[in-house]
Structure 1
Amino acid sequence: MIRFCFQLRPPEELTEKALEYWYFLTDGWYWIEAGEQELFRWTDTTLAAWQTEAEGEICESAPPPARPYADYYVARFWQDLLQCVRQALLPVPDDIAALLWDRGSWEMFLQRSAAWAEEPEDDLSRWERRNEALQWWWWRQLDSGHFTAAPKITLWRQGEQVILDWHHSHNPEFFTASPSGRVVADVSSFRQALLAFDEAFLTQMAVRIVGRSALEKSHAAEAGLLMNALTHPWEEDWAAIRLALEDVRNALGAVQ
């Protein structure tokens, strides 16, 4: 099971300036239910340390959140999902998907290829070759770079299954979720999770902006973006990607 969850901050807790902008009105908390785990949930120990000793060092926002979840604009979470959903719903061919199921080997390939690309400091061609091999993978990652120590989350599809992978590369002890993990959902359930989040978020925002004509125009511009993404499938040149992956893997084999 995959669910995208959020809670908007009560309007009375927002600043006067925030009330003037649609994006700022989305201030709140969000998290992902991935099976029995919650991604973006801080541990009690983290919150306590944040409050008393490490304020500002764990997350870029301060003070510590009033809820144990990512404390930021929910619109950013929503937009980040919109950014990768088309790619996530395009099936990855079985031969390439086989590389992803072996998480350890795939992570090793990512690390070794990065080190290989960095070696000739005055030659960018290796980075270009690596980008050609891996851009499709990066397109499927949910951006969470605005949070320190946030997990790397990737959404990809094989056949009629959508896979959510996560990995905490830094300070996994800050969060309640396992350092790394994977959940699998059928495509229809994943689409329903996206639609449910989209509907709940936009419905609550529609209530929040009643009587603010300028914000109603901004809201109208945002509505329908998910359906537009779902009805315009992404395309990949998998033949070119296979060749690029083979090129980098052969290069790594030559430098062993």
Structure 2
Amino acid sequence: MALINFTLKHPDYITPWGEAAETSMDWFALTDGEYWLDVKKATLYEYTTEVLAGTHANSSHYVDFQIARLLEDLTRIFEAIAEPVPDAFYAIAQSHNYLYRFYEAAQSWFEHASQAPSADVDACYDSYDKAIEWIYSRTLTAAHLTYEPGISFFRNSNNIALVWNADHLTENNIPVWTAQNGEIEIEYQLFVHEIEDFGSRFFQAMDTQVQIAVEKNWGTTQINKQRLIQEQQDRKAAFQQKLSLLKREPFLRTDWHFINTQVTKMFS
């Protein structure tokens, strides 16, 4: 199975935006479906059977949302992913346990330092933010989900580590995600191939989706079919442009020495 997997709902089963007689349909809405990530040792964005108990009988185990949201959130961090992480930082980043111990230690430092009587809270936060920015800039978030898992991507030389945090519990202490916490390392070029493959499959599927939508009679639902066709082409071109960030020499130039200085200052 591919790294990134999805299914699209047929346009006949996608609920238009809006209420009653003022509904509309657009490209983003047509990407409604399910998605999940297969990282071999775990399936990300897969709900546990326990958390789905008591919901609608046809509830999917996977995230049910517009696939375009995943695409947008993922391509947003391509520039940061393309920049290799130095060995010393990669030693922390490639292990879930080490990575989140680092996060917790940085958070603990900030809470302690900012509560000191003479503390400059803004300066403390600035140090804290700079010490962890290299992590969250490489982390795929999902703010549209109630219990959003975090999936971070750290490139080092010819490899890339995927590290996830998905041990969320409901108020009744029911595990939300099957993946829990973990990490996996794969070749960077394989990762880029998987991303390219996802884009190819997604936009091929959307070609069909758009064609169905153009031929469909939407009744009173407002839809600009010419705009729909054009946005499909624009989105496809935009993805290819973002994809190129993963293939070329990295643009981003992080000041790792400065970050190391901040980290040393925090933990000395």
Provide the TM-score with structure 1 as the length reference.
Answer: 0.84
Q: Which residue of 1 aligns with 2:147?
A: 149
- Offset at residue 222 of structure 1 (A): 0.6
Q: Which amino acid aligns with 2:229?
A: E
Q: Which amino acid aligns with 1:204?
A: A
Q: Which residue of 1 aligns with 2:176?
A: 174
For 1:181 and 1:48, the matched residues in 2 are separated by: 25
Distance 1:37 1:103, change over 3 A: closer
For 2:200 and 2:24, the matched residues in 1 are separated by: 21
Q: Which residue of 2 aligns with 1:246?
A: 261
Distance 1:135 1:250, change over 3 A: same
Q: Which has the larger radius of gyration?
A: 2
Q: Deviations over 1:10-47 (max 9, x none)?
A: 21211244762110111111000011321111122221
For 1:78 and 1:189, the matched residues in 2 are separated by: 18
Asked whether the 8 Å contact 2:95–2:163 carries over to 1, the reply is no
Moved more, 218-227 or 15-24: 15-24
Q: Structure 2: which 5+ runs fail to align?
A: 18-22, 215-224
Asked whether 1:130 is paired with 2:128, we answer yes
Distance 1:79 1:137, change over 3 A: same
Q: Which amino acid aligns with 1:87?
A: A
Q: Deviations over 1:204-227 (max 9, x none)?
A: 111211232111111121112232
Q: Deviations over 1:141-191 (max 9, x none)?
A: 0021221223211011111112111112522722222x2111122122111
Mapping 1:224-243, distance limit 5 Å: 224-232=237-245, 233-238=249-254, 240-243=255-258
Asked whether the 8 Å contact 2:96–2:183 carries over to 1, the reply is no
For 1:89 and 1:26, the matched residues in 2 are separated by: 27
For 1:214 and 1:236, the matched residues in 2 are separated by: 34
Q: Deviations over 1:114-139 (max 9, x none)?
A: 23223426621111112222222211
Identity of aligned residues (%): 22
Q: Which residue of 1 aligns with 2:190?
A: 189
Q: Which amino acid aligns with 1:231?
A: S
Q: Secondary structure at the match of 1:166?
A: strand
Provide the TM-score with structure 2 as the length reference.
Answer: 0.80
Equivalent pairs counted in the alignment come to 239
Q: Which residue of 1 aligns with 2:200?
A: 199
Q: Structure 1: which 5+ runs fail to align?
A: 52-62
Q: Which residue of 1 aligns with 2:99?
A: 106
Q: Secondary structure at the match of 1:235?
A: coil
Asked whether the 8 Å contact 1:2–1:35 carries over to 2, the reply is no
